[in-house]
């Protein structure tokens, strides 16, 4: 069982749903409508103690569940105090640990667009399509799920992204890069959206209109909110362009490569360069300080931190 949501006027409507296999696809069915405010189903005994009285209701519908499962599903709707309690080391130890069996993973069962999105979210890489053939164990979380369950699973993770992370995410999963022409970027983005929507293996028996309206439409919002409004990447501002060029030269990489690197990848390159410039290794103290200051300045410009 999982939490499904649907875009409605004024926000979302939430449902408890299940995936089931109906050859040749996994499909989903709604088992309980939670409405717009699922938090109403959480009964508190104190600031941190609570109960979700849905076990009996669901049992009458032929669905067995537990408070542990309901805790996982309703976590986002809990009070901050209850969330902090569940995150405590004591509670983490008692929670069931799901073991991943890599041997049950079959990449042929997974859609490339699903894999690429999860790779960017999980690993922070910017070129996910270069890694589609690698059977990462965590990809098992995408297997044996309906289109609705997969989309809600990824949607939940996307909600945690910062503004800059969402920008890099949308550019990576659609392989857009930074196009100098907004018209070309628009055309490339819309073409890729349509290609995904027209792919029957992605739709899993759903209509093109349904996947566009219910799932892929959020990427249209992402694109126009985080890419279109920029008009040009910040690198094209004169001062920031000079810093990008200086950093690329210092790290001995191309400007295009620098633009597409993650924060973790950039820091790793700076560390390698710092080891060479460190005074203890025969480097220049001035160059070492310059490198540290350049890193701080660049991270603030590119990532806001």
Q: For the chain, which residues make up each domain, given as ranges?
A: 2-94, 102-230, 234-303
Q: How many CB atoms lie within 10 A of CB 117?
A: 25
The tokens describing 35, both together, are 């409405």
pLDDT beyond 50 at 138: yes
pLDDT top residue among 286 and 227: 286
- pLDDT tens sequence across 13-35: 999 999 999 999 999 999 999 99
Q: Quote the pLDDT of residue 155.
A: 94
- Please tell me the pTM assigned to this model: 0.70
| CA angle centred on 45, ends 43 and 50, rounded to 5° | 50
State the residue for tokens 């990489």.
Answer: 253
Residue 167 confidence (pLDDT) above 90:
no
Average pLDDT over residues 35-64: 92
- Integer Cα distance of 291 and 263 in angstroms: 16
Diameter over CA atoms, the chain? 74
């Amino acid at each position: 069982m999982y939490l499904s949501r649907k875009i409605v006027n004024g926000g979302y409507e939430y449902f408890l749903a299940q995936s089931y296999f109906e050859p040749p696809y996994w499909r989903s069915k709604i088992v309980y409508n939670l409405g717009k405010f699922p938090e109403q189903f959480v009964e508190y005994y104190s600031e941190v103690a609570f109960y979700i009285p849905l076990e009996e209701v669901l049992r009458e519908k032929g669905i067995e569940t537990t408070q542990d499962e309901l805790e996982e599903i309703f976590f986002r709707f809990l009070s901050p105090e209850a969330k902090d309690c569940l995150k405590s080391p004591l509670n983490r130890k008692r929670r069931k640990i799901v073991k991943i069996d890599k041997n049950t993973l079959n990449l042929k069962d997974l859609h490339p667009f699903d894999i690429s999105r999860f790779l960017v979210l999980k690993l922070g890489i910017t070129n996910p399509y270069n890694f589609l053939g690698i059977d990462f164990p965590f990809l098992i979380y995408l297997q044996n799920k309906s289109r609705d369950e997969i989309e809600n699973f990824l949607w939940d993770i996307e909600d945690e992204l910062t503004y800059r992370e969402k920008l890099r995410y949308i550019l990576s999963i659609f392989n857009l890069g930074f196009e100098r022409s907004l018209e070309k970027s628009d055309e490339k983005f819309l073409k890729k959206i349509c290609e995904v929507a027209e792919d029957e293996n992605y739709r899993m028996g759903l209509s093109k209109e349904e996947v566009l309206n219910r799932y892929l439409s959020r990427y249209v919002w992402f694109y126009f909110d985080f890419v279109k409004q920029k008009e040009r990447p910040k690198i094209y501002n004169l001062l920031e362009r000079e810093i990008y060029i200086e950093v690329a030269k210092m790290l001995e990489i191309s400007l295009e490569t620098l633009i597409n690197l993650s924060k973790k990848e950039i820091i790793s390159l700076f560390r390698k360069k710092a080891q060479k410039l460190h005074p203890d290794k025969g480097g220049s103290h001035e160059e070492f300080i310059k490198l540290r200051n350049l890193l701080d300045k660049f991270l603030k410009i590119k990532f806001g931190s």
